[in-house]
């Protein structure tokens, strides 16, 4: 795992150096000094390439003469007067992605520019976060990796003029990165290793951070009448779990109604008797990404000792076809008392969430509910991996979530809800059916969830089926699990439920 440290902004004598450069090939305070020392080599290198210092652009100069540096990487920040936190997160990420070589140690010098809109300490902290996010890998099952396939970078020193401010600002961000790492690990684990019981154990490990974790087993869920969740689980030899994680960080008011996050945790989704086609089914190990995001967010909040009361509730099941599996046509009774006819056993996420949502409201009387779920293929068709779908009964909650998503570049796009859509899940033989047909598939899924939200409760649903897993590298994550939602939820809490931390 990459280790990050901070240091004053001096030019190092050896190893790799990454230096920030502004648009129009403008060097900052330290950059100008270095260029002079090197007889204008930096300026010449920039002029003889297409490097202009545009955002996230990089240029590598190998073994620059008159130094003992192995390489010098220039990384663009664009117009310093238009920079923000998210940009520097990307700059830090671009920096480590550009290294991609032999260096075990590197210095990332976040240089000063007079017109920089961000304090340089804040910029450095954000760059450090980006470096950590981008350097995540899941290599634990690769036993034959050659040296040149392994990430070389072990230590990154982020250098800037405001070292102590950078350190202080980075401390909570480092905890957020820990939450992201945990969520990515969980999403990446195969389903033979990660099933409801083992996923619950991972959640239980948050107790170390002062989180109160409770795990309900099948028997307890039966008592609570959770026929929806149990119906999905009954086809699998791996028994289900329902986990609650309470972080009561509002020390002045531990009894204040909590914010509640609910996660879909289907550790593998075969579709059940409504079996999915085989091509690409292996991807369904990530059908627990909503639960992983909730675990990761609670880890981040507890890690940085957020001054807010937040509860996570995750429903954990494996959706398998077997002689014991539920059938299309079965009618089940949910914990809310409402009945559902199963049309497709592949519409299982909403069943799990129906009981988890109900339980969360009964147990915690939360001030608002936000659920995250890899719920529908239709959201992938609508938005690809660019945004997650947002569905809610409250405009203000939507604004808060949308704003938080923008800040951390985990963006949301709102979809409508309404009676006309709700009608599509009416059913002649039960209170509702679990599948409203192909049209507006993501919306009818959300309408289904809304039937388990109590009158007056503030609720939002995030359909993360397109954003939880990516088939290509992104600025802040390599191909694979993104941990989408961890940073968004952390930010949502920071901006709306605790005093803003000012530096
Ligand atoms: N887990 C899937 C949704 C999904 C699709 C997640 C692609 C990630 C990537 C969900 O349980 C599902 O199977 N949904 C069905 C619902 C349908 C049967 C109403 C779908 O989207 O096809
Ligand atoms: Mn499914
Ligand atoms: Zn699913």
What average pLDDT values come out for the chain (503 residues) when binned by 10 residues? 96 94 98 96 97 98 94 98 98 94 93 97 98 97 92 96 98 98 98 99 98 98 98 98 98 93 99 98 98 99 98 99 98 99 98 99 98 98 98 98 98 98 98 96 98 98 98 97 99 90 45
Confirm whether 171 is domain-assigned. Answer: no
Ligand 1 in reach of 376 Cβ (< 6 A)? yes
Out of 55, 137, 276, 363, the active site residue is: 276
> Count of CB atoms within 10 A of residue 250's CB?
17
Work out which ligand 1 atom sits closest to the CA atom of 444: 19
**CA-angle at 58, arms to 53 and 64, nearest 5°:** 100
**CA-angle at 231, arms to 227 and 236, nearest 5°:** 140
Ligand 1 in reach of 350 Cβ (< 6 A)? no
Confirm whether 172 is domain-assigned. Answer: no
pLDDT for residue 160 = 98
Phi, psi of 221 (to 5 degrees): -70, -35
Q: Exposed e or buried b for every residue in 84-119, given b needs 16+ CB within 10 A?
A: ebbbbbbbbbbbbbbbeeebebbbbbbbbbeebebb
Whether the CB-CB separation of 411 and 467 falls below 8 Å is answered with no
Q: Exposed e or buried b for every residue in 338-353, given b needs 16+ CB within 10 A?
A: bbbbbbebbbbbbbbb
Do 139 and 184 lie in one domain? The reply is: no
Taking the C-alpha atoms of residue 322 and residue 113, their distance in angstroms, rounded to an integer, is 64
Confirm whether 405 is domain-assigned. Answer: yes
CA 79–ligand 2 middle distance (angstroms): 46
Taking the C-alpha atoms of residue 53 and residue 414, their distance in angstroms, rounded to an integer, is 35
Mutating to test ligand 1, I would choose from 352, 376, 385 the residue with most ligand atoms within 8 A of its C-beta, which is: 376
Ligand 1 in reach of 287 Cβ (< 6 A)? yes
Query: Which H helix or E strand runs over 220?
Result: helix 218-223
Taking the C-alpha atoms of residue 348 and residue 435, their distance in angstroms, rounded to an integer, is 10
pLDDT for residue 502 = 45
Confirm whether 474 is domain-assigned. Answer: yes
Ligand nearest to the backbone CA of 378: 1
CA 181–ligand 2 middle distance (angstroms): 26
Note the Cα 503 to chain centre separation in Å: 25
> Count of CB atoms within 10 A of residue 384's CB?
11
Protein residue with its CA nearest to atom 14 in ligand 1: 376
Q: Which of 161, 192, 218 is the last residue of a domain?
A: 161
What does pTM read for this prediction? Answer: 0.98
CA 303–ligand 2 middle distance (angstroms): 33
Taking the C-alpha atoms of residue 404 and residue 207, their distance in angstroms, rounded to an integer, is 27
Taking the C-alpha atoms of residue 482 and residue 484, their distance in angstroms, rounded to an integer, is 5
Q: Exposed e or buried b for every residue in 226-246, given b needs 16+ CB within 10 A?
A: bbbbbbbbbbbebbbbbbbbb
Do 375 and 431 lie in one domain? The reply is: yes
CA 447–ligand 1 middle distance (angstroms): 15
Ligand 1 in reach of 435 Cβ (< 6 A)? yes
Confirm whether 109 is domain-assigned. Answer: yes
User: What is the tally of structural domains in the chain?
Assistant: 2
Specify the residue for token string 């807010």.
308
Ligand 1 in reach of 465 Cβ (< 6 A)? yes
Q: Which of 131, 161, 191 is the last residue of a domain?
A: 161
Do 157 and 216 lie in one domain? The reply is: no
Do 205 and 287 lie in one domain? The reply is: yes
Out of 285, 350, 487, 491, the active site residue is: 350
Do 7 and 60 lie in one domain? The reply is: yes
Whether the CB-CB separation of 503 and 165 falls below 8 Å is answered with yes
List Cβ neighbours of 214 (8 Å cut-off, separation of 6 or more). Answer: 243, 244
Ligand 1 in reach of 289 Cβ (< 6 A)? no
Work out which ligand 1 atom sits closest to the CA atom of 274: 18
Whether the CB-CB separation of 68 and 117 falls below 8 Å is answered with no
Protein residue with its CA nearest to atom 3 in ligand 1: 376
Query: Which H helix or E strand runs over 58?
Result: strand 58-62
Work out which ligand 1 atom sits closest to the CA atom of 276: 13
Taking the C-alpha atoms of residue 394 and residue 219, their distance in angstroms, rounded to an integer, is 35
Nearest CA-CA partner of 293 in 407, 351, 372: 372
Taking the C-alpha atoms of residue 178 and residue 157, their distance in angstroms, rounded to an integer, is 18
Do 157 and 281 lie in one domain? The reply is: no
CA 413–ligand 1 middle distance (angstroms): 19
Domain containing 84 — which CATH number?
A: 3.40.220.10
Mutating to test ligand 1, I would choose from 285, 320, 465 the residue with most ligand atoms within 8 A of its C-beta, which is: 465
Residue 327 designated active-site:
no
Nearest CA-CA partner of 115 in 181, 28, 7: 28
Residue 472 designated active-site:
no
pLDDT for residue 100 = 77
Do 412 and 371 lie in one domain? The reply is: yes
Work out which ligand 1 atom sits closest to the CA atom of 376: 21
Ligand 1 in reach of 347 Cβ (< 6 A)? yes
| β-pairing verdict for 68-76 and 212-216 | unpaired
Q: Which regions of 367-438 does DSSP assign to beta strands (E)?
A: 368-373, 388-392, 412-414, 432-433
List Cβ neighbours of 153 (8 Å cut-off, separation of 6 or more). Answer: 2, 96, 99, 103, 104, 105, 106, 135
CA 363–ligand 1 middle distance (angstroms): 29
Q: Which of 126, 161, 196 is the last residue of a domain?
A: 161
Specify the residue for token string 């990761």.
296
Do 147 and 190 lie in one domain? The reply is: no
Do 130 and 184 lie in one domain? The reply is: no
Ligand 1 in reach of 272 Cβ (< 6 A)? no
Taking the C-alpha atoms of residue 244 and residue 311, their distance in angstroms, rounded to an integer, is 7
Domain containing 332 — which CATH number?
A: 3.40.630.10
CA 376–ligand 2 middle distance (angstroms): 8
Mutating to test ligand 1, I would choose from 279, 375, 467 the residue with most ligand atoms within 8 A of its C-beta, which is: 375
Do 326 and 457 lie in one domain? The reply is: yes
Phi, psi of 327 (to 5 degrees): -110, 155
Nearest CA-CA partner of 211 in 312, 307, 362: 312
Phi, psi of 172 (to 5 degrees): -70, -30
> Count of CB atoms within 10 A of residue 436's CB?
23
Domain coverage including residue 366:
178-497
Do 138 and 198 lie in one domain? The reply is: no
Do 121 and 18 lie in one domain? The reply is: yes
């Amino acid at each position: 795992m990459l280790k990050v440290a901070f240091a004053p902004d001096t030019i190092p004598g050896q190893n790799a150096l990454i230096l920030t450069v502004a648009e129009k090939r403008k060097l900052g305070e330290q950059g100008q000094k270095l260029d002079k020392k090197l007889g204008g080599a930096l300026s010449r290198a920039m002029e003889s390439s297409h490097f202009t210092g545009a955002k996230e652009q990089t240029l590598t100069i190998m073994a620059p003469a008159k130094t003992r540096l192995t390489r010098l990487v220039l990384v663009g920040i664009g117009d310093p007067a238009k920079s923000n936190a998210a940009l520097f997160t990307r700059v830090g990420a671009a920096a480590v992605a550009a290294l991609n070589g032999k260096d075990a140690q590197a210095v990332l010098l976040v240089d000063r520019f007079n017109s920089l809109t961000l304090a340089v300490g804040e910029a450095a902290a954000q760059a450090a976060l980006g470096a950590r996010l981008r350097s995540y890998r899941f290599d634990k099952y690769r036993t034959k990796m050659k040296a040149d396939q392994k990430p070389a970078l072990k230590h990154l020193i982020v250098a800037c003029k405001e070292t102590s401010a950078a350190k202080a600002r980075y401390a909570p961000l480092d905890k957020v990165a820990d939450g992201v790492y945990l969520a990515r690990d969980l999403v990446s684990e195969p389903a033979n290793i990660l099933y409801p019981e083992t996923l619950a154990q991972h959640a239980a490990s948050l107790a170390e951070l002062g989180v109160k974790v409770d795990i309900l087993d099948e028997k307890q869920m039966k008592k609570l009448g959770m026929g929806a969740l149990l119906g999905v689980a009954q086809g699998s030899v791996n028994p289900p779990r329902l986990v609650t994680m309470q972080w009561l960080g509002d020390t002045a008011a531990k009894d204040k109604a909590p914010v509640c996050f609910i996660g879909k945790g289907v550790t593998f989704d075969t579709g059940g008797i409504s079996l999915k086609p085989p091509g690409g089914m292996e991807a369904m190990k990530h059908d627990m990404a909503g639960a992983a995001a909730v675990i990761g967010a609670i880890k981040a909040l507890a890690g940085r000792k957020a001054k807010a009361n937040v509860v996570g509730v995750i429903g954990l099941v494996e959706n398998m076809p077997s002689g014991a599996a539920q059938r299309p046509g079965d009618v089940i009774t949910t914990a809310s008392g409402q009945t559902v006819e199963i049309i497709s056993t592949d519409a299982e996420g909403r069943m799990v969430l129906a009981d988890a949502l109900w339980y969360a409201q009964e147990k915690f009387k939360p001030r608002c509910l936000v659920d995250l779920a890899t719920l529908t293929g239709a959201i992938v068709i609508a938005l690809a991996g660019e945004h997650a779908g947002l569905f809610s009964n409250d405009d203000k909650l939507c604004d808060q979530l949308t704003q938080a998503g923008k800040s951390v570049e985990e963006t949301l796009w709102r979809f409508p809800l309404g009676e006309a859509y709700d009608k599509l899940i009416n059913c002649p033989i039960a209170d509702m059916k679990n599948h409203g047909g192909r049209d507006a598939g993501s919306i009818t899924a959300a309408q289904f969830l809304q039937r388990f939200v109590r009158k007056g409760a503030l609720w939002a649903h995030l359909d993360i089926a397109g954003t939880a897993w990516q088939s290509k590298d992104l600025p802040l994550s390599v191909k694979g699990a993104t941990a989408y939602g961890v940073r968004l939820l952390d930010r949502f809490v920071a901006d709306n439920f605790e005093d803003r931390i000012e530096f």
